[in-house]
Structure 1
Amino acid sequence: MKVMVAYASKYGATQGIAQRLGKVLDECGYEVDVVKCADIDRASGYDAYLVGSATYEFNWRKDARRFVERNEAELSAHPLWLFSSGPLGTEQVDKDGKDVLEGARPKQFAEYSDTLHPRGMQVFRGAYDPDKIRGADRIIAWMPAIRDILPKGDFREWSAIDAWGKSIADDLQSADARP
């Protein structure tokens, strides 16, 4: 069974998550291609898809949104999972007591849920290294109000990413996952 893991990443954290998911699926016996959304026009020839993006201001990156729009028919006809990365830090709940990962769901999860019917949607924590920031983001990142509130570090929870990848592999093995 062939699986595509397509991603849009700005500074590499989401790319790392996509690569890790691809590795987990590969180790479970699937033929996996991990590709940038911007590098592929048409997604065809795969039995299942995972699509993910970094999230900024509750939106997926443009490359991921365009990829989904171009390939809506193909994606909706096969088993599909969506993932996102973004929240920084280790807090489980925000100041209002709400789940941080649930609160970081991109708008696209709700939009794509109705049209693509994904089997699962997951938000993962991201990473932030101010030394990697470039372009206009660098100006914003060094503003004292923003610089002081953004926790620095790699907050990706590899065990959660591995577990989600294994649950996808298990789902693909079930008879009803076959296209």
Structure 2
Amino acid sequence: MPDRVLVAYGTKNGSTAQIAEAVAEVLRKDGLDAEALPAGSVTAVEPYDAVVVGGGLYAGRWHKDARRFVRRHRRSLAGRPLWFFSSGPLDASASERDIPPVPGVRRAMTELDVIGHATFGGRLEEGAKGRMARMIVRSGRGGDFRDFTAVQAWADRVGQELTAAGRR
């Protein structure tokens, strides 16, 4: 059974980090040794048996740290069970329907044989970094659209797949 799971994430304002922490917490409840780390701080994936990578969406692209993580560790990721998640829609759409990965994430999924992907709502609130983010908040289109029940259910499916793979 894969025991050690890395949940690496790229985030600008902390919303994706909180989702990654929630994913790692569920995986730990499923009996796995999971830790969530900023993607930019991970130097090696070899110590992990499986990896989950998450990125906040900005202008139709994953956060640069998530993109760089996947490029930098491409060879090591290819040999491990791998899942992706995205966060970012600033409305209820992610809770209402399955949102496909953005093109760059979809390409990486195909190249690395990613097992699954989910898109979760994002959060953008007062104090957000970046000129565009502040404009969105000022216009009244910000808020917290994350659905942690959906995050936990998805993470539990990942955990079940990993523990089931260990029983084969």
Tell me if TM exceeds 0.5: yes
**Residues in 2 aligned to 1:19 and 1:120: alpha-carbon distance in whole angstroms:** 18
**Residues in 2 aligned to 1:7 and 1:36: alpha-carbon distance in whole angstroms:** 5
1:102 aligned residue (99, 102, 112)? 99
Shift of 1:153: 1.9
Aligned positions, number: 166
Residue correspondence of structure 1 range 70-109 to structure 2 within 5 A: 70-91=72-93, 102=99, 105-109=101-105
Would you say the 8 A contact 1:125–1:157 is kept in 2? yes
**Residues in 2 aligned to 1:92 and 1:3: alpha-carbon distance in whole angstroms:** 25
Residue in 2 aligned with 1:18?
A: 20
SS at match of 1:174: helix
Q: Which ranges of structure 1 fall in alignment gaps of 5 or more residues?
A: 94-98
**Is 2:168 aligned against 1:171?**
no
TM-score, normalization by structure 2: 0.88
Q: Would you identify which runs of 4 or more consecutive aligned residues in structure 1 move more than 4 Å?
A: none
Question: Percent of aligned pairs with the same residue?
Answer: 33
Shift of 1:45: 1.3
TM-score, normalization by structure 1: 0.83
**Residues in 1 aligned to 2:69 and 2:94: alpha-carbon distance in whole angstroms:** 31
Residue correspondence of structure 1 range 33-72 to structure 2 within 5 A: 33-72=35-74
Shift of 1:63: 1.1
Cα gap change, 1:73 to 1:177, in 2 (>3 Å)? farther
Q: CA RMSD in A?
A: 2.3
**Is 2:80 aligned against 1:114?**
no
Shift of 1:108: 2.4
Would you say the 8 A contact 1:87–1:100 is kept in 2? no
Shift of 1:101: 5.1
Q: Which ranges of structure 2 fall in alignment gaps of 5 or more residues?
A: none
Shift of 1:175: 2.9
